[in-house]
């Protein structure tokens, strides 16, 4: 078998994504999947490039797929249809539910399940030939409307319906239609697979969970896990979209296994929009009852999450998280949440940075702001009256989730002090009197940071050099710096050097991976446990070299929290919101890398701003994607970022893991959108109550905000008052 030798490719990825220093990546010294594919195609190898022929229809019966003409085309090495490849879909995390999973194939056989589903995969040494061949695949699809509706996957109820709240003095209602968004990582999805000299399937894939990816590839192809070796190169972002392999990656690996030749595929940006996994997309509806004295009494919510035609492993997570996190960090006497997950003939929806946490915060913070207007309270004061605080700990949410530490009320007090809240309110009043539309918005939130286990193997050699292998897999977070700090804290001066290995299922112990802001809380705890095991053996007189592998099981889930306050002005000519100022206080527990924490905050904030102001994937009534490129999908720009950003930490340790660490990676996507939404609504309200039917949903584009303002004006200057119940 020709192609890059195992040593050549492994040498480029042995440090893996987590060990390429951030400075090296910025300097262009990383080794991403496309780099590996490029090198593989220039050394005389027999590398084949894959290209997919995809269905333009969202539903229908496949009458025929004719690939014979393309198979005979010069330069085409192989063409596979559903009759040629037997590949099963990846598994789904069922939790304690009994979901009704859709019967969908990775490559369409008898039925089409979504627009963008693969009909055939074309292989050629020249990617241009492969693309031309895919475009020439002939097929016939009979229209069939039976697959265009939604189908229930799972339903469940969360909360304490038996607890009776006092009769509410006022009730406010909110409906949020959150559009789908695209992860749009710098690096699209891709995979490079080949049969190695030992007869095993070697797969290079940018993934957040190497061990799970290995198991998914093996199961999909009918192989034993030991027959598959997964390696993770540097990863140019993931945000949940690369948590597990999807149909495309599985089909490419199957093609390599069947042909015995190296096969590579890197998605185009348009393929990412059409056939990749999306995020968000839920419909959230709730009522909040409160006493006339300002107590939040009861919340009843209905959540509906469409998840597309097929379910990635974590497809149920966003709905589950949103349901279990309501009513957020507030004391509410009674809470009942009905959640539903349904399929629809569109691309899949998976976890996306926040994964249900932003939805819960959006809904609750929207309601709390409206309750403040209905009661005549300042929104800051009403929150401070109802937020849980340190003396309440441990605190149990209505869903049964438990917080062991933290002080959400103090976090908001800290943020308000840093913001100069009273002075800002006075300034807003003056600016409004001068004709400006200005608003302040608050977003309080909880951020649970993952459950389960992680493994680490630490080797201390005779010269004092430490080699650490972990089950995590970085997508650019920079695990190396905090992991090295943990090792040096335990082993001290005995450490003379440090090497981190991540993302290689042969060289690393199995783990869950980098998901749900769990890398430091659980992965870091495993690193510390491995270092402590080596230290104990050294103290007992064990000679070097010495190696210890540990599995760390987190006893509980750590909950971070925080508060965001923003000032937003609506531009006079366009009504486009501009975030003038943002103050953010976050409690992520013990901080091991302050620079890394700040980078995570800024990155999450940018994505939260994008969700709030510009990002939305749109489909028409026939489930055809309308936003198929970056010409149609508006990512946030530098000019959209707040002009004045102030980040602050309020760290309280947790007993939920050995480090006392909590999550930080998703916090910006949780608190920022809620604060921005409330600020825009505040700018429109100008002190009035806002009717529940106000037509204002994400993204908050200038046109949408303008239409909402015109709608309010059409009702007269006093009409919104008194309509909150």
Return the CATH class of domain 6-146+192-268: alpha beta
Query: Under a CB-based contact definition with an 8 Å cutoff, are residues 220 and 250 in contact?
Result: yes
pLDDT of residue 148: 75
pLDDT of residue 718: 55
Show the tokens assigned to 496.
Answer: 């003379």
Return the CATH class of domain 453-553: alpha beta
Place of tokens 């199957």: 254
pLDDT of residue 477: 84
For the chain (725 residues), the mean pLDDT of every run of 10, in chain order, is: 34 42 71 87 78 95 94 96 92 89 91 95 96 96 82 92 73 96 94 96 96 96 97 91 94 97 96 96 96 95 96 95 97 95 96 96 98 96 98 95 96 98 97 97 94 96 96 87 95 94 96 89 96 95 94 96 98 96 96 91 96 97 95 95 94 95 93 98 91 92 96 73 34
| Rounded Cα–Cα distance for residues 303 and 155 (Å) | 10
| Rounded Cα–Cα distance for residues 675 and 325 (Å) | 17
Please give the radius of gyration of the chain, using alpha carbons only, rounded to the nearest integer. Answer: 26
What string of DSSP letters covers 54-116?
Answer: E-S-SSEEEEEEE-HHHHTSTTEEEEE-TTT---PPPP---TTS--------SB-SSEE-STT
What's CA 188's distance to the chain center, in Å? 15
| Rounded Cα–Cα distance for residues 369 and 384 (Å) | 12
Residue 622 is classified by DSSP as: T
Query: Under a CB-based contact definition with an 8 Å cutoff, are residues 484 and 498 in contact?
Result: yes
Just give the CATH number of 387-450+556-725: 3.30.365.10
Which H/E stretch holds residue 373?
Answer: helix 357-375
pLDDT of residue 474: 85
- Which residues in the chain are classed under CATH 3.90.1170.50? 6-146+192-268
> What residue ranges in 402-495 does DSSP mark as E strands?
402-403, 437-448, 453-460, 465-470
Among candidate residues 348, 657, 402, 430, the one with its CA nearest the CA of residue 529 = 657
Among candidate residues 188, 241, 236, the one with its CA nearest the CA of residue 629 = 188
Residue 91 is classified by DSSP as: P
- Which residues in the chain are classed under CATH 3.30.365.10? 387-450+556-725, 453-553
DSSP alpha helix (H) spans, 557-697: 594-613, 667-685
Query: Under a CB-based contact definition with an 8 Å cutoff, are residues 582 and 145 in contact?
Result: no
pTM, entire model: 0.93
């Amino acid at each position: 078998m020709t192609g890059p030798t195992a040593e050549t490719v492994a040498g480029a990825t042995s440090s893996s994504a987590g060990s390429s220093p951030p400075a090296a990546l910025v300097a262009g010294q990383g080794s991403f999947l496309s780099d590996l594919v490029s090198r593989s195609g220039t050394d005389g190898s027999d590398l084949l490039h894959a290209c997919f022929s995809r269905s333009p229809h969202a539903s229908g019966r496949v009458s025929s797929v004719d690939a014979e003409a393309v198979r005979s085309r010069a330069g085409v090495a192989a063409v596979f249809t559903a009759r040629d490849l037997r590949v099963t879909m990846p598994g789904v995390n069922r939790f304690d539910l009994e979901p009704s999973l859709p019967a969908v194939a990775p490559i369409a056989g008898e039925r089409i399940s979504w627009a963008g589903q693969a009909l055939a995969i074309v292989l050629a040494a020249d990617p241009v030939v492969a693309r031309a061949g895919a475009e020439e695949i002939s097929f016939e699809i009979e229209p069939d409307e039976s697959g265009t509706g939604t189908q229930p996957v799972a339903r469940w109820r969360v909360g304490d319906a038996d607890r009776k709240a006092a009769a509410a003095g006022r009730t406010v209602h909110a409906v949020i239609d959150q559009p789908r968004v695209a992860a749009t990582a710098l690096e699209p999805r891709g995979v490079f697979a080949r049969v190695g000299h030992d007869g095993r399937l070697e797969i290079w894939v940018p993934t957040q969970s190497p061990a799970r990816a290995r198991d998914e590839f093996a199961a999909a192809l009918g192989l034993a896990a030991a027959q598959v070796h997964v390696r993770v190169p540097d990863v140019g972002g993931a945000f949940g979209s690369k948590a597990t392999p999807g149909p495309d990656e599985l089909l490419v690996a199957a093609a390599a296994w069947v042909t015995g030749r190296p096969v590579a595929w890197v998605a185009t940006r348009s393929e990412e929009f059409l056939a990749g996994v999306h995020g968000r997309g839920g419909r959230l509806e709730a009522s909040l009852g409160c006493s006339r004295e300002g107590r939040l009494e009861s919340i009843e919510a209905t959540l509906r999450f469409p998840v597309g035609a097929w379910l990635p492993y974590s497809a149920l997570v966003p709905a589950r998280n949103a349901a279990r996190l309501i009513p957020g960090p507030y004391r509410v006497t009674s809470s009942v949440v009905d959640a539903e997950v349904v399929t629809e003939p569109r691309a899949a929806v998976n976890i996306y940075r926040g994964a249900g946490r932003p939805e819960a915060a959006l809904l609750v913070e929207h309601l709390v702001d409206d309750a403040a207007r209905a009661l005549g309270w300042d929104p800051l004061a009403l929150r401070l009256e109802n937020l849980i605080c340190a003396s309440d700990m441990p605190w149990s949410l209505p869903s049964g989730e438990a917080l062991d530490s933290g002080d959400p009320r103090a976090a908001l007090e800290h943020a308000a002090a840093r913001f100069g809240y009273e002075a800002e309110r006075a300034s807003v009043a003056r600016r409004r009197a001068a004709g400006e539309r200005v608003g302040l918005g608050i977003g309080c939130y909880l951020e649970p940071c993952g459950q389960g286990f992680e493994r680490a193997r630490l080797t201390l050699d005779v010269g004092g050099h430490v080699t650490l292998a972990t089950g995590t897999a970085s997508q650019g977070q920079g695990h190396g710096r905090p992991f090295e700090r943990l090792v040096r804290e335990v082993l001290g001066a005995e450490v003379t050097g440090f090497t981190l290995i991540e993302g290689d299922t042969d060289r690393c112990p199995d783990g869950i991976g980098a998901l749900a802001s769990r890398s430091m809380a659980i992965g870091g705890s495993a690193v510390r446990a491995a270092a402590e095991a080596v230290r104990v053996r050294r103290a007992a007189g064990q000679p070097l070299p010495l190696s210890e592998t540990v599995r760390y099981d987190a006893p509980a889930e750590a909950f971070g929290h925080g508060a965001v306050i923003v000032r937003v002005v609506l531009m006079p000519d366009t009504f486009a919101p501009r975030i003038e100022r943002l103050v953010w206080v976050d409690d992520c527990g013990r901080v091991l890398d302050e620079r890394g924490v700040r980078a995570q905050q800024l990155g999450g904030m940018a994505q939260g701003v994008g969700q709030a102001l510009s990002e939305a994937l749109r489909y028409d009534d026939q489930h055809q994607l309308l936003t198929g490129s970056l010409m149609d999908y508006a990512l946030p720009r530098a000019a959209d970022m707040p002009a004045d950003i102030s980040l602050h930490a309020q760290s309280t340790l947790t007993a939920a893991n050995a480090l006392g660490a909590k999550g930080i990676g998703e916090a910006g996507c949780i608190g920022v959108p809620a604060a921005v939404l409330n600020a825009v609504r505040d700018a429109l309200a100008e002190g009035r109550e806002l009717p529940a039917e106000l037509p204002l949903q994400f993204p908050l584009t200038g046109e949408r905000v303008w239409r909402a303002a015109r709608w309010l004006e059409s009702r007269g200057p006093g009409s919104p008052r008194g309509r909150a119940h």
